[in-house]
Amino acid sequence: MQVFLSPTSFLSMTVAAVEVYPRETVGVLIGLRGDGKIWVEYALPIQTAKREEDEVTWKPTRETRIRDFMIGSTGLQIVGQFHSHPYAERDGLFRGMNRLGASDLKSWGSKMIEMVVGVVKNGGLDRNGKRLEWTHLRRGSLQGAVGAYAMKLTAWFSIDRSTKRPSIAFIRCPFATGIDR
C-alpha cells in the first residue's frame, strides 16, 4: 500500500500536531482510494476534540459533520484519520512512539488508514545533534523536522481491509522530501 500526501494534508497534520503539543490531536483524512494506493488531499483536525497528553476523544457527530461537508463539497471520500503521539525528549528518539495502542486499535476502522504523527520537541535534531531532514524510512514512514519539532509520520492499514492487524504503508510526500527523492 502506498499513501500519497498532498502538500495541504502534510502541512495540516504537522501543524495540528505542533499546535496542541504536548497534547494529542485528531482529524479526518479526505482523498481518493485506488488499487493499492491512497491519495490524501486534505487532513482536517477536529477542533472540538478533548485533548490529553496520551489520549484524545471527540464526538462522532463532529466527524460526521466534517465527512458530510467535505464529501458534498469536493466529491472526495473519507480515507482514514490521523492523530498525534506527542513525547518529551527521550532515548531512541522515535522508537515505538508511532505504534498503535489499544485505544488506537479500538477506534481504527480496518477499511481506513490510520496516520500517526509522532512528535518530540527537541530542536528538530536527530540523535547526533544535526538538523533532521525529511526522508522516507526503509519501512515506509516519513521522518523529519518542522521548526523545533522532530516528527515521524506512519500510515497504518489492514492488508485484507477486514481485520485489525495493522501493517505500515509507504508514505510518499514530494513536498516534504523534495521531488527528486
pLDDT tens for each residue of 14-43: 999 998 898 888 889 999 999 999 999 999
Delineate the domains of the chain, giving CATH numbers in brackets: 2-177 (3.40.140.10)
In this prediction the pTM is 0.86
Residue 58: the pLDDT is 60
Residue 145 β-bridge partners: 150
Rounded Cα gap, residues 66 and 127, in angstroms: 39
Reported as a single tens digit per residue, the pLDDT across 142-177 is 999 989 999 999 999 988 766 778 999 999 999 999
User: Residue 141's closest CA among 152, 132, 127?
Assistant: 152
Contact 148, 88 (CB under 8 A): no
Distance between CA 90 and CA 74 in Å, rounded?
41
Question: In the numeric block, which cell numbers belong to residue 151?
Answer: 516528527
Distance of CA 139 to the CA centre of its chain: 15
